[in-house]
C-alpha cells in the first residue's frame, strides 16, 4: 500500500514535470536548408538559458503550413514567402541570406558566366565549354534532386521553370546528372574537369572554384550589396500571438549573438 502511494505520487509528479517541461519548449520546423544553422542556434540558446528548442527539417512548404496552422511555433523557409501564402496574423522575418554558388572544377579556365548562360547550360542548350569561352570539351551539368530546397531556389532565381498542364515544373534538362546533397555535388565537380554544379555558398571550399555570375563574385559582400543574383533568403514565420518563449528565441536569433552564429555557419547576416 505504501509502495503504491509512493509510486502514484511519483507518477503524477512525473506527468506534471513533463508538462511543465513541454510548456517551455520552442518548436521549430520547416526548410531542411535552414535546419542546419537553426540547430546550431538552438544548441547555443539552450546552453545559455532554460528553454528547450526542438528543430525539425520538414521542407519549406511544410514550414509555411506549420506556421499557418500553429503546429510549430516557428516555421522556416529557404525561399521568399509571398504575403498571400501566410494567414492573417502570421509575420515573417528574414534571418539570413544564403548564396547559391555556381562552381566548376579547379582546372576549368572559365571565370565568368552570365545568368543567361548558366540557365542555358542547365536547360541543355549550351553543351560545350567552348560556347562560353572555355576549352573545347562537353559540359557535364550536375544538379540536385527534385524537391531539394537548393534546387528549388536555383530554379526560381534562374527562371529554370516551365509549365506543363498549368503547373510549374523544372526546366532543368533530364540529361543533367543528379546528385543528392551538397557534398555529392562537390565531390563530382571537384573530380571532373568538365563539370558544373551549384551548391550552397556555405559549403564552398578550395576543392572547387566558383564562377562570377553577371560579373559579380559569389561572396557575402556581393550578396549583401545585392550584386550577386543567385541568392535566397532564410525566412522565419511566427504567429503574432505566439508563446513568449518563441519570441525570446527569435530575439536571440535576430540579436548580436545570433548574427555571429549565422556568420560563422557561412551564411550572410542581414541586420
Partner 1 sequence: MSDVVTVNHAPTAKQSGQVVKALEASANRVDWANHLFKYLFMLSAFIGVFSVGLIGYFLIKEGMPALSYAGVTNFVFGMEWVPPVLFGIAPMIVASLISALGAVVIGVPVALLTAIFLAEVAPKRVADVVRPAVELLAGIPSVVYGFFGLVIIVPMVEKVFNIPAGNTLMAAIIVLAVMILPTVIAISETALRAVPRSYKEGSLALGASPMFTIFKVLLPAARSGILAGVVLGIARAIGETMAIIMVMGNSPAMPRHLLDSARSLTANIAMEMAYATGLHSSALYTTGIVLLVFVMVLNATLLYLNREKAR
| Binding interface with partner 1 (CB under 8 A) | 32, 59, 61-62, 137-140, 145-149, 164-165, 167, 169-170, 173-180, 187-188, 191-192, 194-195
| CA-based nearest residue to 196, from 138, 156, 145, 131 | 138
- Residue closer to partner 1, measured from CB, 190 or 218: 190
Nine-digit cell string for 143: 544538379
Least gap, CB of 267 to partner 1 (angstroms): 20
Q: Using alpha carbons only, what angle is made at residue 117 by residues 114 and 121, rounded to the nearest 5 degrees? A: 145
* Cβ distance to partner 1 smaller for residue 62 or 253: 62
| Beta bridge pairs of residue 196 | 104, 141
Closest separation between CB of residue 186 and partner 1, Å? 13
Which bin fits 102, alpha (ψ -120 to 50), beta or left (φ > 0)?
A: beta
State the helix-helix crossing angle for 32-48 and 244-254, rounded to 10 degrees. 100
- Of 119 and 220, nearer to partner 1 (C-beta) is 119
Closest distance to partner 1 from the beta carbon of 36 (Å): 14
Q: Minimum CB separation from partner 1 for residue 261, in Å?
A: 25
Pairing of strands 231-239, 212-213: unpaired
Which C-beta is closer to partner 1: that of 45 or that of 122? Answer: 122
Closest approach of partner 1 to the CB of residue 183, in Å: 12
> Burial code of 44-73, b = ≥16 C-beta within 10 A, e = fewer?
ebeeeeebebebbbbbbbbbbbbbbeeebb
Q: Decide: helix, strand or coil at residue 271.
A: coil
Q: Which is nearer to partner 1, 25 or 192 (CB)?
A: 192
* Closer residue to partner 1, CB minimum distance, 192 or 203: 192
How far apart are CB 5 and partner 1 at their closest, in Å? 39
d(CA 264, CA 247) in angstroms, rounded, equals 23
Amino acid at each position: 500500500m505504501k509502495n503504491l502511494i509512493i509510486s502514484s505520487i511519483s507518477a503524477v509528479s512525473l506527468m506534471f514535470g513533463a508538462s511543465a517541461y513541454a510548456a517551455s519548449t520552442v518548436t521549430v520546423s520547416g526548410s531542411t536548408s535552414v535546419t542546419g544553422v537553426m540547430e546550431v542556434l538552438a544548441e547555443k540558446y539552450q546552453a545559455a538559458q532554460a528553454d528547450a528548442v526542438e528543430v525539425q527539417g520538414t521542407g519549406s512548404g511544410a514550414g509555411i503550413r506549420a506556421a499557418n496552422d500553429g503546429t510549430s511555433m516557428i516555421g522556416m523557409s529557404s525561399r521568399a514567402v509571398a504575403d498571400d501564402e501566410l494567414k492573417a496574423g502570421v509575420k515573417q522575418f528574414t534571418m539570413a541570406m544564403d548564396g547559391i554558388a555556381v562552381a566548376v572544377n579547379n582546372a576549368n579556365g572559365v571565370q565568368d558566366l552570365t545568368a543567361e548562360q548558366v540557365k542555358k547550360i542547365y536547360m541543355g542548350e549550351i553543351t560545350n565549354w567552348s560556347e562560353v569561352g572555355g576549352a573545347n570539351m562537353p559540359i557535364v551539368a550536375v544538379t540536385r534532386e527534385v524537391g531539394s530546397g537548393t534546387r528549388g531556389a536555383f530554379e526560381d532565381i534562374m527562371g529554370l521553370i516551365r509549365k506543363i498542364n498549368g503547373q510549374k515544373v523544372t526546366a532543368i534538362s533530364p540529361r543533367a546528372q543528379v546528385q543528392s546533397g551538397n557534398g555529392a555535388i562537390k565531390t563530382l565537380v571537384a573530380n571532373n574537369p568538365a563539370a558544373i554544379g551549384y551548391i550552397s555558398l556555405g559549403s564552398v571550399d578550395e576543392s572547387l572554384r566558383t564562377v562570377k555570375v553577371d560579373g559579380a563574385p559569389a561572396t557575402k559582400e556581393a550578396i549583401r550589396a545585392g550584386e550577386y543574383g543567385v541568392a535566397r533568403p532564410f525566412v522565419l514565420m511566427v504567429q503574432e500571438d505566439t508563446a513568449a518563449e518563441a519570441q525570446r528565441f527569435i530575439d536571440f536569433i535576430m540579436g548580436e549573438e545570433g548574427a555571429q552564429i549565422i556568420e560563422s555557419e557561412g551564411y550572410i547576416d542581414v541586420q
